[in-house]
Amino acid sequence: MWEIRNVDITLHQLRCFLAVADERHFARAAQTLRMAPSSLSHQISGLERELGRRLFERTSRAVTLTDDGRDLLPLARGAVSAVRSIETWAGESEPTLLKVGYTAASAGLRLILGAAIERLPRVTPRVVPVGLAGGVRAVVDRSVDCALSFELAPPDAHEGVAAVPLWEEELVVAMPEGHRLADRGRVRTDELYGETLIGIAAPDDSTAPGLPPWYEAIDPVLFERCRLERVATSADETMEVVAAGMGVNIAGASAISSYGRGGIVFVPLDSTHRVVARLVVRDEPAAPALRDFIALASDTIARADLPFGRG
């Protein structure tokens, strides 16, 4: 008598298998899928255990398909294609609302949103302010589907999220008009010693993640030699208190076009550090609308000539 064996595999596992099969490299496949290499390896191992077959031969130099892996390849492609057709059919009824969090306004974000309105007619993007330090948290707690976040390069790793780097910016110092350094072409960090730095206000929620080490990462001595005022909850609020004369702030260069106003001067900071703008998402299979938005964001920025940074 034949025994019928139930196989419990997921579409995500098949997509992971196809990515590795196409790239023949786990790290590149993980980057394509916007997930951690360790998570990808876990998915492939789980698929192999469930099928009871080894799908890849792994060496330090190469990843190749086994005979079983080659047999599975057309079946996996067919299954993923069929599900994609179902997703497309199901999504034709009404536009999908996509919540896009942002920690600070940027010309780059405006380019992405404009492209989405033009090229993704079934997606309705809604921008949601998440505060200077709230991008990752808003993604994790599902307040938004994705978030544009700015961190010093290389960016910090966060558990449960993946990120797509979009562009980089140089650092600038925002200071009040009439400041002793306002007429300089560039400013060194040691020239800021003794200044008051405007920082992110500490969260009221004791369970919130720690504040990102912004000034400390730029220059630990800067953090030690300056007074820190943690009063700002948004980029707009930061620039208002700078214009009022409370202190200075170090930001990415895109702040010049987004937050420039009377009473503020921006001077480039002489530093090797750069700010990286990343689209942060949950480290899990993305819905079709989000996958399309991520791909469009990367393509839009890659084609753009950003005045404040490079892709």
pLDDT 10s digits, 15-51? 999 999 998 998 888 888 877 888 888 899 999 999 9
If you average pLDDT over every residue of the chain, what do you get?
A: 86
Question: In the numeric block, which tokens belong to residue 39?
Answer: 């998570």
Residue 114 has pLDDT above 70, yes or no: yes
Q: Which residues contact 80 (CB under 8 A, 6 or more apart)?
A: 11, 14, 15, 18
Name the β-bridge partners of 176. Answer: 264
Q: For tokens 């600038």, what's the residue?
A: 172
How many Å apart are CA 311 and CA 306, to the nearest integer? 8
Question: What is the rounded radius of gyration, in angstroms, for the C-alpha atoms of the chain?
Answer: 23
Question: Which H or E run contains 70?
Answer: helix 67-90
Q: How many CA atoms lie within 13 A of 92 on its CB side?
A: 5
**pLDDT exceeds cutoff 60 at 1:** no
Contact 139, 161 (CB under 8 A): yes
Could you tell me the two tokens for 172? 């600038």
Please, which pLDDT band fits residue 174 given cuts at 50, 70 and 90? Answer: very high
Please state, in angstroms and rounded to a whole number, the distance separating the CA atoms of residues 213 and 158.
14
Confidence tier at 155 by pLDDT (50, 70, 90): low
- CA pair distance 235, 109, nearest whole angstrom: 15
**Where residue 173 falls among pLDDT bands split at 50, 70, 90?**
very high
Q: How is residue 130 written in tokens?
A: 């998440």
Q: For residue 109, count other CB atoms closer than 10 A to its CB.
A: 23
Cα-based distances in Å from 68 to 3, 20, 43, 114? 21, 14, 17, 45
Share of the chain above pLDDT 90, in %: 51
**Type of residue at 255:** A
Partners of 56 in the beta sheet? Answer: 65
Q: Would you tell me the crossing angle of helices 67-90 and 288-303 to the nearest 10 degrees? A: 100
With a cut of 80, say whether residue 310 has pLDDT above it: no
Distance, in Å, from the CA atom of 69 to the CA atom of 66, rounded to the nearest integer, reads: 5
CA–CA gap between residue 45 and residue 48 (Å, rounded): 5
Query: Would the pLDDT of 153 be above 80?
Result: no
- Give the angle 169-255-152 at the CA atoms, nearest 5°: 40
d(CA 288, CA 92): 12
Q: What is the pLDDT of residue 209?
A: 44
Q: What is the pLDDT of residues 72-99, one digit of tens each?
A: 999 999 998 888 777 766 655 567 899 9
Domains present along the chain, CATH in parentheses:
11-90 (1.10.10.10), 96-164+275-310 (3.40.190.10), 169-274 (3.40.190.10)
Whole-angstrom CA distances from 125 to 117, 196, 254 are 8, 38, 22
- Distances in Å between the Cα of 11 and the Cα atoms of 14, 46, 116, 215 are 5, 13, 26, 43
User: Which segment of 27-36, 110-119, 143-152, 235-244 scores lowest on mean pLDDT?
Assistant: 27-36
pLDDT confidence of residue 210: 44
Amino acid at 197: L
